[in-house]
Amino acid sequence: MPESDQPHDEVRVHETTPLIEPGHTFASVTDKISSLVLKRRTPLGWFIGFGISFMLFQLFMLAVTNLVFTGVGIFGTNQPVGWAMPIINFVWWIGIGHAGTLISAILLLLRQEWRTSINRFAEAMTLFAVACAGMYPVFHLGRPWLAYWLFPYPNTMGIWPQFRSPLMWDVFAVSTYATVSALFWFIGLIPDFATLRDRAKSRGWQILYGLLAMGWRGSARHWARYEMAYLLLAGLATPLVLSVHTIVSFDFAVAQLPGWHATIFPPYFVAGAIYAGFAMVLTLTIPLRKFYGLEDFITDRHLRNMAKVMLATGLIVAYGYMMEAFFGWYSANKYERFMIWNRMTGPYWQFYWALILCNIVTPQLLWIRRIRHSTLALFIISLVVGVGMWLERFVIVVTSLHRDFLPSSWGMYWPTVWDWSMFIGTIGLFLTLLFLFIRFLPIISIFEMRTILPQAEVEEEAA
Amino acid sequence: METKPPLYGLMAEFDNPTDLVEAARQTYDEGYRRINGYSPFPIEELAEAIGFHKTRLPLIVLLGGIFGGLAGYFMMYYMEVIDYPLNVGGRPFHSWPAFMPITFETTVLCAALAAVFGMLALNKLPQPYHPVFNAERFALATRDRFFLVIEARDPKFDHDKTLAFMWSLNPKEVVDVEV
């Protein structure tokens, strides 16, 4: 039964599913979240999870060591596919990061209170995803120890970077994004560091959290400036996050290659980034809230809302695919036409149709209420979308490059074992950082959770 | 000869935000100005109640953004037009549309840095020591308790009278805070 057909009351009840289970107080919220870091003994599951992640991270170290000693020849990247796994993975990771900023900044400006219990975690995810993304351009340089050449600094060669290139824009966009995300995250943590400082029992932790809290004491004047700074940062991060994936899409769109040279790229990339990011947030929060018993704070309403955002952005992405196909035909340009036909029926046809299946067909299940309400189904769909978004970048990068204008220079690309090692290795790096974060920092913003309790309202006297 | 007062001020403890805001309003109306409230989460009404209405932070952020935008643009102008003009695909040396993305990024970067460091500077953080930390129960200010402080430097401050006044505000407790 569609939702609009239901009796009015039922719809209202559904909308008021609490953001936080009733019965919590300032003290219980504080103690529950801070005890995950401070009191509770580290669960065995944490060691197992961290151990596996750390092993995968060693695979990354191995791949990078081999890369530095041998050279980029260990990757399958070669003419005509001069941009392959490194940029696919770069775009995939950076896109995943975008959901964190969307949750923390855009939903803050839109006064979506439900963001409160997931924003800290999503921001951490952003930061780690950007760190993983950053590995690819640096290690794909060939001589990664000269990575600082990307920045404009006065040098003995007397030359400067070429600022008309989207690749230079990318350097600025990604480094700005990493910096602003880190600042936003750290600022959000300061009051919680103070809570941990005051709750910690051992001297060492008191000093460590005390240093990080920088003497925060919850003064009303401090809070007023803090809230202003937080709001302004959210206002700055909002256009920033849109600009970052726009600029990433310029890396492709400014080139004249069929399949890349399209005006739809910026909005389509931004929607795809949010789509992949929300899928990743769901993939991570569903097991996390289960293992740490956080169902009181990350309620079913959060999961359902995220599923709806995923469905909405998925539809924008579907529109993007449709327009790509439509303009391939409508352009009446034989290279464009060939490109889209080659995508659908050429040697990489499985990738294209798997992409359609993962990114367009599967998420349509989210229209069904029962599926939105099933945690397991959401988890599976979010994994499928994560794979789909990786396939999207593979299709865009590889199928456009491998057969361009001159049939004499056509070729095929397949990733080597080192391409895969580095990709799986960055997943290890990401999970390793995430496990450390879960162990040492509050995964839910404690002070913001206090503000959404009903007791936090100041009651005005009726006078 | 007047020496530095050994007392920083008096601190009253409340267990909910409504009482604290009400107490802060009364204290302000009573004529005390060197007062401050402490709470585990931001309370908009509290800042107003203690007479704190405006912060210069937005101006600092605006200036940071303007500086960042100009610095980014003119950095590129200098490098691409003056110091090392390079013909790229026949585009003009001063190809301003291509300079826009980086101008935007440096604007946001500098504004964000101004917001964070401006906030910390105006709040005089990091500040490892502050007298309020001497109060035994103040550690609860980061958990579930709300505090109001009247400083001894306030011209109207008189230990006994102020103490009596603070007890009239329905606090859970009032304590002396040493410097």
Asked if pLDDT for residue A9 goes beyond 80, the answer is no
Each residue of B107-147: pLDDT tens digit?
999 999 999 999 999 999 899 899 999 888 898 999 899 99
Asked if pLDDT for residue A173 goes beyond 70, the answer is yes
Is the CATH code 2.60.40 the one for domain B7-52+131-178? no
Q: Cβ(B46)–Cβ(B17) under 8 Å?
A: yes
Q: From its phi and psi, is residue B106 left (phi > 0), alpha (psi between -120 and 50) or beta?
A: alpha
Out of A187, A194, A217, name the one closest to residue B132 (CB): A217
pLDDT given at position A267? 92
Please answer yes or no on whether A232 and B58 come within 8 Å at the CB atom. Answer: yes
Cβ neighbours of residue A403 under 8 Å, at least 6 residues apart?
A80, A338, A339, A342, A346, A410
Hey, is the C-beta of B42 within 8 angstroms of any chain A C-beta? yes
* Residue in chain A nearest B100 by alpha carbon: A169
The residues facing B123 across adjacent strands are none
Q: How many domains does chain A have?
A: 1
Please answer yes or no on whether B102 and A447 come within 8 Å at the CB atom. Answer: no
Asked if pLDDT for residue A118 goes beyond 90, the answer is no
Each residue of A425-435: pLDDT tens digit?
999 999 999 99
**Residue A296 domain flag:** yes
Question: Does pTM surpass 0.80?
Answer: yes
Please answer yes or no on whether B42 and A227 come within 8 Å at the CB atom. Answer: yes
Q: From its phi and psi, is residue B154 left (phi > 0), alpha (psi between -120 and 50) or beta?
A: beta
Asked if pLDDT for residue B148 goes beyond 90, the answer is yes
* Residue in chain B nearest A195 by alpha carbon: B142
pLDDT given at position B66? 97
pLDDT given at position A461? 60
* A239 neighbourhood in chain B, CB within 8 Å: 104, 108
To test the contact with chain A by mutation, choose from B20, B41, B86, B100 the residue with the greatest count of A C-beta atoms within 10 A, namely B41
Out of B58, B98, B105, name the one closest to residue A173 (CB): B105
Distance to chain B for A29, nearest Cα, Å: 9
Provide the residue ranges of all domains of chain B, joining segments of one domain with +.
Answer: 7-52+131-178, 57-122
**Residue A426 domain flag:** no
ipTM field: 0.93
pLDDT bin (cut points 50, 70, 90) of residue A6 is very low
**Residue A13 domain flag:** no
To test the contact with chain B by mutation, choose from A156, A181, A190, A222 the residue with the greatest count of B C-beta atoms within 10 A, namely A222
Looking at per-residue pLDDT, the higher value among A35 and A355 belongs to A355
When computed from its CA atoms, the radius of gyration of chain A, rounded to whole angstroms, is 24
Each residue of B9-45: pLDDT tens digit?
999 999 889 999 999 999 999 889 999 999 999 998 8
pLDDT given at position B1? 47
Rounded to 5°, the CA angle A85-A87-A90 comes to 105
Each residue of A42-59: pLDDT tens digit?
888 899 999 999 999 999
What is the DSSP annotation of B99-167? HHHHHHHHHHHHHHHHHHHHHHHHTT---S--GGGGSGGGGGGGTT-EEEEEETTSTT--HHHHHHHHH
To test the contact with chain B by mutation, choose from A221, A231, A240, A256 the residue with the greatest count of B C-beta atoms within 10 A, namely A221
Domain, as residue range, for A303: 77-102+111-158+240-414
Structure tokens at B97: 């549309």
Hey, is the C-beta of B79 within 8 angstroms of any chain A C-beta? yes
Out of B38, B42, B120, name the one closest to residue A217 (CB): B38
Distance to chain A for B1, nearest Cα, Å: 33
Each residue of A132-160: pLDDT tens digit?
999 999 999 889 999 999 999 998 988 89
**Residue A368 domain flag:** yes
Asked if pLDDT for residue A12 goes beyond 70, the answer is no
**Residue A318 domain flag:** yes
Each residue of A384-434: pLDDT tens digit?
999 999 999 999 999 999 998 999 999 999 999 999 999 999 999 999 999
Each residue of A184-224: pLDDT tens digit?
999 999 999 999 999 888 899 999 999 999 999 999 999 99
